[in-house]
Amino acid sequence: MPATQSREITAASRLERVRYAIRDLACVADEVVKQGHKILPLNIGDPLNFDFQTPAHMIEAVYKAMKDGKNGYAPSSGIKEALDAIRGEAARKGITTIQDVFVTSGVSESVEICLAALLNPGENLLTPSPDYPLYSAVLAKLEIGLNTYDLNEEDGWQPELEDIKRKITPRARGIVLINPNNPTGSVCTRAMLEAVAELARRHNLVVFADEIYDKLILDDDQHVSFASVAPDVPTVTFGGLSKNYLAPGWRIGWGVVSGEPSAVAPYVEGVNKLLRSRLCANHPEQYAIRPALEGPQDHLIEVRKKLRSRRDLTVNWCNSTPRVSCVSPRGAFYAYPRIDIPEDDEIFVRELIKQKYVMVVHGSGFGQKPGTKHFRIVFLPDEATLTKAYNAIGEFMRDRYGKSV
């Protein structure tokens, strides 16, 4: 008889550094669900899990594309009408030095391709702390060490310029700005963007401007695109349909490369080499890009109205609850409360799921200053659901930690 393969097939060692806190808690929740309990999910930023719907004209555009036979491969960079619409949207954002545009399978693929096209072994990229864990996961896959800079909770979670200056080494190639920020909901000021731009110029850095939530500004001020204040700085601006246009499952994102043509040309060719190597993004869904960007924007009025109300409810609860405080988010649909507890925030989150069936994400999964503890709330659910969840969290904290510090 043939020999039986009995040796263990181990995963690559570089995966030991791959973490994705938002979904890594799913195994805990699955056990709770198996016991017959219903989870109150405040952990995943998917609007379609709640009372939001993809705009009908976008669905109709995709349906028509499918019926018209647009079901084969698309050009690697994306279809022309989508690319033209993205260029037009970038121009409306004030980006004047556009050098290239491409469509990807969500912003996640844009990030992976753009980082892989830039970074060599031994080099590094500055990422914010706290940040969206996609960036650290991609860097781990590329075997690039983390080089994080702090966001200042005392300054509305703005980047700490002095910390950025300290972290820029001769091996630094770029800096990530998530604006509006996930997980804090902060929005960079124009002055901050200009200061970061000056550092990028001085140190020849590429800026990755993740602006996927740029239309979900919850206060009266306007979002300022980084590339609009720094037309000369090599920049990749990320956007997509997932958040602003309520279509996360379609996996349609894009990147806009801007800067001086001669400076970014070799990098653009590297990005396109990787785009060609993976064929293309989802073809029929690309036909929703132009209707989304150039068509009716009415849904955004209602979306922002709901989010403002739910943001205010969340912040009021945080700042009236013992052991909890929160900087008010100015964009997106996340809050990042600080908690004063005697144990790790990951333990807090896991026990909250098991005992109260409320699912949030621990701050240590996003990054935080030593000695501080946080958790991230997704405030997409309706007010009644949020109130129920917050009452459960408050009760959990009183029972576990007492009423005061």
Cα(239)–Cα(281) distance, rounded to whole angstroms?
Answer: 14
Nearest to 377 by CA among 31, 23, 45: 45
| pLDDT at res. 49 | 93
Q: How far is CA 216 from CA 90, 270, 308, 355, in A?
A: 16, 32, 10, 33
| pLDDT at res. 11 | 76
Judged against a pLDDT cut of 80, whether residue 350 lies above it is answered with: yes
DSSP helix/strand/coil, 103: strand
Buried b (16+ CB within 10 A) or exposed e, 35-49: eeeebbbbbbbbbee
Token output for 83: 């690319």
E strands along 130-191, which residues? 146-152, 158-159, 172-178
Quick one: DSSP state of residue 336?
Answer: -
Judged against a pLDDT cut of 90, whether residue 220 lies above it is answered with: no
Judged against a pLDDT cut of 80, whether residue 19 lies above it is answered with: no
| pLDDT at res. 9 | 74
- Under the banding of pLDDT at 50, 70 and 90, the label for residue 334 is very high
- Under the banding of pLDDT at 50, 70 and 90, the label for residue 29 is confident
DSSP helix/strand/coil, 16: helix
| pLDDT at res. 308 | 98
Q: Read off the pTM.
A: 0.94
Cα(228)–Cα(205) distance, rounded to whole angstroms?
Answer: 17
Nearest to 214 by CA among 184, 181, 180, 191: 180
Q: How far is CA 234 from CA 134, 173, 258, in A?
A: 22, 11, 6
Cα(335)–Cα(130) distance, rounded to whole angstroms?
Answer: 12
Domains and their CATH numbers in the chain? 13-52+298-401 (3.90.1150.10), 56-294 (3.40.640.10)
Judged against a pLDDT cut of 60, whether residue 405 lies above it is answered with: no
Cα(52)–Cα(380) distance, rounded to whole angstroms?
Answer: 9
Q: In the block, which residue shows the tokens 């996996």?
A: 251
Q: Are 103 and 82 in contact (CB under 8 A)?
A: yes
Q: Are 19 and 146 in contact (CB under 8 A)?
A: no
How much is the mean pLDDT over the chain?
94
Q: How far is CA 336 from CA 84, 241, 333, in A?
A: 37, 24, 10
Phi, psi at residue 119, to the nearest 5°?
Answer: -95, 130
- Under the banding of pLDDT at 50, 70 and 90, the label for residue 22 is low
Nearest to 132 by CA among 308, 367, 405: 367
Cα(257)–Cα(238) distance, rounded to whole angstroms?
Answer: 9
E strands along 48-123, which residues? 98-105
Cα(339)–Cα(357) distance, rounded to whole angstroms?
Answer: 19
Lowest-pLDDT range, 11-15, 59-63, 89-93? 11-15
The C-alpha angle 398, 403, 405, rounded to 5 degrees, equals 120
Judged against a pLDDT cut of 70, whether residue 21 lies above it is answered with: no
Judged against a pLDDT cut of 80, whether residue 152 lies above it is answered with: yes
Judged against a pLDDT cut of 80, whether residue 18 lies above it is answered with: no
Q: How far is CA 222 from CA 86, 164, 304, in A?
A: 19, 25, 13
| Better-scored residue on pLDDT, 389 or 5 | 389
| pLDDT at res. 32 | 85
Judged against a pLDDT cut of 90, whether residue 324 lies above it is answered with: yes
Judged against a pLDDT cut of 90, whether residue 24 lies above it is answered with: no
Q: Are 189 and 180 in contact (CB under 8 A)?
A: no
Nearest to 223 by CA among 234, 233, 240, 209: 209
